A and B are shown apart, each in its own frame.
Chain A
Amino acid sequence: MEINFTHHQTAHCENGVISNLMKHHGFQISEPLAFGIGSGLLYCYIPFLKVNHAPALTYRAMPGFIFKRFAKRVGIEIKREKFKNPQVAKERLDTNLENNNPVGLQVGVYNLVYFPDEYRFHFNAHNLIVYGKEQDRYLISDPVMETVTTLTEKELEKVRFAKGPFAPKGHMYYPISFPEKLDIEKAIIKGIKHTCRDMLAPMPVLGVKGIRHVAKLIRKWPKKKGVKVANHYLGQVVRMQEEIGTGGGGFRYIFAAFLQEASGILNNPKLADLSKEMTDIGDLWRDFALDASRIYKNRSAKEDAYNNVASQLETLAEKEEAFFKKLKKAIK
């Protein structure tokens, strides 16, 4: 069976699943709109979580949060199911497909066979859509892939029941009810307000303060951790910033695209100006990644090189602080 479903490639998986499922149900929601309404933009340093033996940080909201907030703000209802038993998980998935209902799944990346080997880490918060089944192969629309693909029953079970942090436990989700008309305008304002609040939060590891915190750490790394570890940590900062599809500038460009779209919907020219400003900030993030990559490429840990990228981060923190203060005012 195959559900009549159109695959659109997106930059990021969670936005992509939202946008593709909404389009399937007849609502034209672009990826940036899903990202902005769900307040996807963030900066957070997570000292207690190690990924690949280096401290973790993130440039976007916790897995699952974007969709949760998006649903609440536009007034759709989502059904979520988690499973202990893989057999039950498979049956529930099959029932949905028989009922012509494409569903979103949370999966682990490590055993995702169609991903390039180099990208297969134990990262358990990837998202994809299943839109059908032919013999024992599931038809998969993975938003970050250019085209649709397939997975065998066994392959899909493996990724649905990956273990480790954020273990998906077969997590399956799909919208079950929609309002007559989505309240996009209000949802956009709520989304923006939330992002401003997060980025300007008075917490040492969150938002603008988090950026400053990491800048301070970077200054200390070469002395405290030695060349090798410092370079490994710095590499992680860039890898996290440049997740698949963020193309230099982390999630900043997607947010800028969101502001541009929001400016049209809300008829608010200030947002268009701020979109331009966010694009410039995205370019600076790109420069930061480029300079950081030069350091670990040369395997050097010259203190002034580390100080230089740390200063770039501090400039970014300053610019983003000013930016989000302006953004907060612009939607009042």
Chain B
Amino acid sequence: MKKDEVPQDTSNLETAKLKELCYALDDDGNYTTVNSSGWDPKTIALNQAIEEINARIADAKRRVLKNKTSPIEYYMEFHKMDVSILASYVGMWSWRVKRHFKPTIFKKLSNKKLQKYADTFDVSVEQLKDITKHGN
């Protein structure tokens, strides 16, 4: 890749006023570094992943409101986590976290456990219990 071929497409980096560094050849064939504002194939790949996550969040939300799953699953998706990551944050086994997805079990959770989840998701226990009170 030559210096003038370094992609300068608009990307999500812009929001953070960030440009990344790339290695490319100068006119004499020597390697040098050039800042890049982004590259479309990369941006598309990233956006596709984000869309996927948003769809998962929406799906979880729908199921919480239908009482098919507990708010924990919604907040987990919201924070781009999977069960094993969430389990390591709250310090429980994955199967216990999964069990807490069941609305009937969730209702019986102690305040201490609820607080643990609330802290992990950076919300109040009240918000944890009722996702319609969640900020975004």
Contacts and interface: CB of A to CB of B under 8 A. Distances in A.
- Among A145, A247, A254, A290, chain B packs the most CB atoms within 10 A around the CB of A247
B18 A253 contact: no
B1 A283 contact: yes
Given A167-B88, A235-B49, A296-B45, A122 B21 contact: no
B46 A286 contact: no
A144 interface: yes
A239 B46 contact: yes
A167 B40 CA distance: 31
B16 A114 contact: yes
A293 interface: yes
A296 B41 CA distance: 10
B48 A231 contact: yes
Given A164-B84, A254-B23, A286-B1, A235 B39 contact: no
A292 B48 CA distance: 13
B20 interface: yes
Interface of B: 1, 6-7, 12-13, 15-16, 18-25, 29-31, 33, 35-36, 39-42, 44-50, 52-53, 79-82, 84-85, 88-89
Contact of A110 (B15, B41, B48, B80): B80
Contacts of A231: 48
B36 A247 contact: yes
Nearest to B36: A247
Interface residues of A, number: 55
Contact of B85 (A116, A120, A122, A238): A122
24 contacts: A11-B21, A32-B23, A50-B82, A116-B13, A119-B46, A163-B85, A163-B88, A235-B44, A235-B48, A235-B49, A236-B49, A239-B45, A242-B42, A244-B20, A245-B22, A247-B23, A248-B7, A256-B31, A257-B31, A275-B31, A293-B44, A293-B45, A296-B44, A296-B45
Contact of B39 (A121, A242, A256): A242
- Among B22, B42, B50, B81, chain A packs the most CB atoms within 10 A around the CB of B42
A108 to B, nearest CB: 10
Given A242-B42, A253-B24, A247 B29 contact: no
A39 interface: no
Contacts of A247: 1, 6-7, 20-24, 36, 39
A55 to B, nearest CB: 14
Contact of B21 (A9, A50, A242, A276): A9
A118 B44 contact: no
A260 B44 contact: no
A275 B25 CA distance: 11
A310 B134 CA distance: 44
Contact of A245 (B21, B44, B52): B21
A117 B82 CA distance: 18
A17 B1 CA distance: 25
A53 interface: yes
B31 A248 contact: no
Interface string A278-317: 0100110010011011001100000000000000000000
- Among A231, A232, A276, A293, chain B packs the most CB atoms within 10 A around the CB of A293
- Among B19, B20, B36, chain A packs the most CB atoms within 10 A around the CB of B20
Contacts of B20: 11, 144, 244-245, 247
A290 B41 contact: yes
Given A116-B16, A163-B88, A164-B88, A121 B80 contact: yes
A118 B1 contact: no
A159 to B, nearest CB: 13
A115 B35 CA distance: 17
Interface string A178-202: 0000000000000000000000000
